[in-house]
Amino acid sequence: MARRKEAGLYIHQRAEWPNFRWDTARISARLVDIRHRQGRLIGRMEGLGFQLRSEAVLQTLTEDVIKSSEIEGEKLDRDQVRSSIARRLGLDVGGLGPVDRDVEGVVEMMLDATQSYNKPLTARRLYDWHAALFPTGRSGMSKIRVGAWRDDASGPMQVVSGPFGKERVHYVAPEADRLRQEMKNFLEWFEKDNSIDLVLKAGMAHLWFVTVHPFDDGNGRIARALADMVLARSEESSQRFYSMSAQIRYERKAYYESLEAAQKGDVDITRWLEWFLDCLGRAFERAEAILATVLSKARFWDYFAATQFNERQRKMLNRLLDGFEGKLTSSKWAKLMKCSHDTALRDIEDLIKKKALTKDAAGGRSTSYSLAKTPEAGAKGRKSVPNRITSPLP
């Protein structure tokens, strides 16, 4: 078989692999700016006080877990994710419900990466993360090797898109018989190379791991967890106030394009690092929205501190303040709060009397309600949060 030309090689097939290089002049200014903004964000969040800071961490980690799974096409239940994280962090948020095994596994992996960020990364630890992600030993309908490197028994590991018979191959990973040495090199670098700024190292770790693609499935989620782990090391803190995974989800197309370009290029990863740093910067900007939501929620409850609410009302108000997706009918209120339809309507009417909810202008065949515009929790901070309740007319 004819040997491929150098231009047609994947990055892991090049003689220089994995000795990455980059243009320091192009990266330095971005890195200085990112480090400055990272410090400012952490400083602001740490000045919130314990309760608000815990709420910000809970919101950030919930978003991180949900969006990292969405990148892979898997939708997790937000309430279950939030409950699992709160329980594991010992946070008193009330109303913690049962959680599915697959949700628990994703949360367990993410928290192990970020809360135990200084614990050494080993092959065994990666195996445990992988086993947590796939507790049934299956990915969808397919049985996979769990807690072990892939063996390529069903063919080479490829990243493809498109319908069956018209697939487009975006990337082919290293052969399975290379994995033991490839992962040995990666793990030694991850723990022993202290010559690289940790923010840059987070981007490199992400690219390196997902390029090796050592598992049958879950490589993207683990790569993003590794990046979060290194970012936690860069801050010397287990508290997460921004979500790189959430930002990657919003930029998924650019993310895959940047990965593919890097994996089909040479070992100069300047463009990948530029994209990673820019994406991280936008994650910092999005963290401002989390901060605004946390502060708005705190002001809301401070304003109503002397007002009595029953458990159902308090729970529903928190759902609205956290960002309820879609409209909530009185029937849905009854289902979520496990009460009758009449009780749900009485709860809503009582909240209107207490000025926690307001009735919107008539709209179609339903009556809608929104969170009240208190002086401390104005409309501006809530426009981006779906918070409408809809009660069908009798």
Binding-site sequence positions: 217-224, 255-256
Helix spans in 264-358 (H):
270-303, 311-322, 330-337, 341-353
**Residue 388, token pair as written in the block:** 């409408």
Measured between alpha carbons, how far is 31 from 7 in angstroms, rounded to an integer?
Answer: 30
CB 157 within 8 A of CB 177: no
Measured between alpha carbons, how far is 258 from 220 in angstroms, rounded to an integer?
Answer: 14
Angle, vertex CA 343, rays to CA 340 and CA 346, nearest 5: 155
Among 12, 130, 206, 213, which one carries the catalytic annotation?
213
Active site residue 213: yes
Count of other CB atoms within 10 angstroms of residue 48: 17
Closest of 267, 191, 181 to residue 229, by C-alpha: 191
What burial class does residue 106 get, using C-beta atoms within 10 Å of its C-beta: 0-12 exposed, 13-18 middle, 19+ buried?
buried
Closest of 272, 294, 241, 309 to residue 42, by C-alpha: 241
Query: Which residues on neighbouring strands pair with residue 268, listed in sequence order?
Result: 21
Query: Which residues on neighbouring strands pair with residue 169, listed in sequence order?
Result: 160
Helix spans in the chain (H):
24-46, 50-71, 78-89, 101-115, 123-133, 179-192, 198-212, 219-235, 244-250, 252-263, 270-303, 311-322, 330-337, 341-353
Count of other CB atoms within 10 angstroms of residue 111: 19
- Residues in the annotated binding site for ATP: 217-224, 255-256
Amino acid at 21: R
**Which residues are catalytically annotated?**
213
